């Protein structure tokens, strides 16, 4: 891994008897897009609030660029940009006024502040919205403005809590493109999301949390490789799906046949030669096979494999 920009060390935060974050430790390399995933109530937002210096841990620490959020939160705030899962806006405030207000909060002054605001407006592609009121914008456009606000002081680490929540498909695609551009520019992105298929397309690594405990961390491929002993095959037939399912369940090495998007998916505890023989038996038995593939693992597989869906 590259040099760590974010180090979480034995972090714990409790609310009464609820252990929202329960002794978790992991690190994020500089320049990575890092996904933080888990069910509702898992402890994601509490962890992100601590990283963003909005809450304090009971025990443990978080270091951003080597700086402790407990010992020097003011310095940490200069290194991070935080976009929460809601967009805080002010009534009767235009996009330019909104960004200018926060630029002043970052102690930008005079021509430098105006240039920064203009550069952010241009980068975020919101030039046509300069004089529009932020509270009248769509959810997707508000997210763009909010992300622009988080970038005003050129942070090293961006913390995005459920950034795609409530966005339509086009806005999600645009957000994903922006995240890729920011990562290409050297920013480290730490984001949570329930939209696992989209995270899998942009994340270099992930951490999985449930009931405050860290279950796994690393690249999706490496985690799944350690968890999965069998290959996953997908069969799509033109007809006779129920009969094909029963046939597969009778075959040696076939485990856990399930329906997925109109196809039959199953774990297969065998090698290449046995896989070829299984396809031959399907065809010989008269099943109209349209597709027979090894499906690549994704974040949804990972999430279902190692979580139980429990909340606190």
246: DSSP letter: H
Q: What percent of the chain has pLDDT over 90?
A: 64
Question: How many alpha carbons fall within 13 Å on the CB side of residue 241?
Answer: 16
Superfamily designation of domain 4-220:
P-loop containing nucleotide triphosphate hydrolases (3.40.50.300)
pLDDT score, position 22: 96
pLDDT score, position 139: 86
5: DSSP letter: E
What does the domain layout of the chain look like in residue ranges? 4-220, 229-296
Residue 169 — pLDDT band, cuts 50, 70, 90? Answer: confident
Least confident of 14-18, 39-43, 126-130, 276-280: 39-43
Q: What percent of the chain has pLDDT over 70?
A: 91
Q: How many other C-beta atoms are found inside a 10 Å radius of the C-beta of residue 116?
A: 19
pLDDT score, position 198: 66
The whole-number average pLDDT for the span 149-173 is 89
Considering only residues 198 and 174, tell me which one the structure prediction assigns the higher pLDDT: 174
**pLDDT, tens digit, for every residue of 116-131?**
999 999 999 999 999 9
Q: If we measure between CA atoms, which residue out of 257, 260, 303, 312 comes closest to residue 282?
A: 257
Residue 1 — pLDDT band, cuts 50, 70, 90? Answer: very low
The whole-number average pLDDT for the span 201-218 is 89
Taking the C-alpha atoms of residue 284 and residue 302, their distance in angstroms, rounded to an integer, is: 34
The whole-number average pLDDT for the span 144-173 is 90
Residue 2 — pLDDT band, cuts 50, 70, 90? Answer: low
Q: Rounded to 10 degrees, what is the CA torsion of 103, 107, 110, 112?
A: -70
Which residue shows structure tokens 């003011």? 74
Taking the C-alpha atoms of residue 170 and residue 187, their distance in angstroms, rounded to an integer, is: 23
- pLDDT at position 152 over 70: yes
pLDDT score, position 44: 93
H or E stretch covering 100: helix 95-105
Considering only residues 241 and 305, tell me which one the structure prediction assigns the higher pLDDT: 241
DSSP characters for 130-162? TTSBGGGS-HHHHHHHHHHHHHTT--SEEEEES
- pLDDT at position 161 over 50: yes
CATH fold label, 229-296: Alpha-Beta Plaits (3.30.70)
**pLDDT, tens digit, for every residue of 223-273?**
766 666 678 899 999 999 999 999 999 999 998 899 988 999 998 888 889
Please give the biggest Cα pair distance in the chain.
78
Taking the C-alpha atoms of residue 73 and residue 61, their distance in angstroms, rounded to an integer, is: 11
pLDDT score, position 168: 81
Q: If we measure between CA atoms, which residue out of 194, 195, 191, 218 comes closest to residue 207?
A: 218
To the question of pTM greater than 0.85 for the whole model, the response is no
Residue 222 — pLDDT band, cuts 50, 70, 90? Answer: confident
Residue 176 — pLDDT band, cuts 50, 70, 90? Answer: confident
pLDDT score, position 261: 87
Helix (H, G, I), strand (E, B) or coil at 120: helix
Residue 108 — pLDDT band, cuts 50, 70, 90? Answer: very high
Residue 308 — pLDDT band, cuts 50, 70, 90? Answer: low
**pLDDT, tens digit, for every residue of 26-67?**
999 999 999 998 888 889 999 999 999 999 999 999 999 999
pLDDT score, position 227: 63
Strands, DSSP E only, in the chain? 4-15, 18-29, 33-37, 59-64, 67-68, 80-83, 157-161, 188-192, 205-210, 213-218, 231-237, 254-260, 263-268, 289-294
Mean pLDDT across the chain: 89
- 24 forms beta bridges with 11
């Amino acid at each position: 891994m590259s040099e760590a920009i974010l180090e979480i060390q034995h972090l714990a935060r409790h609310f009464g008897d609820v252990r929202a974050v329960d002794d978790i430790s992991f690190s994020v390399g500089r320049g990575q897009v890092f996904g933080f995933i888990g069910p509702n109530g898992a402890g994601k937002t509490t962890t992100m609030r601590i990283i963003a210096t909005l809450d304090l841990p009971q025990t443990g620490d978080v270091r951003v660029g080597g700086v402790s959020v407990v010992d020097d939160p003011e310095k940490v705030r200069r290194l991070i940009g935080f976009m929460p899962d809601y967009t805080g806006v002010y009534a009767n405030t235009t996009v330019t006024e909104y960004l200018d207000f926060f630029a002043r909060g970052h102690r930008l002054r005079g021509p430098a502040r105006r240039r920064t605001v203009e550069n952010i407006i241009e980068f975020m592609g919101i030039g046509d919205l300069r004089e529009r009121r932020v509270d009248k914008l769509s959810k997707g456009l508000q997210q763009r403005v909010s992300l622009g606000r988080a970038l005003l002081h050129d942070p090293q680490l961006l913390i995005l809590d459920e950034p795609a929540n409530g966005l339509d498909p086009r806005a999600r695609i645009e957000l994903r493109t922006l995240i890729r551009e920011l990562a290409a520019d050297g920013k480290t992105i730490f984001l949570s999301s329930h939209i696992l298929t989209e995270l899998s397309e942009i994340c270099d690594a992930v951490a999985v949390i449930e009931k405050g405990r860290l279950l796994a961390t690393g690249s999706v491929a490496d985690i799944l490789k350690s968890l999965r002993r069998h290959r996953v095959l997908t069969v799509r037939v033109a007809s006779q799906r129920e009969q094909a399912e029963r046939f597969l369940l009778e075959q040696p090495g076939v485990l856990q046949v399930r329906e997925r998007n109109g196809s039959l998916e199953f774990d297969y505890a065998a090698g290449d030669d046995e896989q070829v023989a299984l396809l031959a038996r399907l065809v010989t038995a008269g099943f109209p096979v349209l597709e027979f593939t090894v499906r690549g693992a994704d974040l949804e597989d990972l999430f279902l494999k190692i979580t139980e869906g429990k909340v606190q």
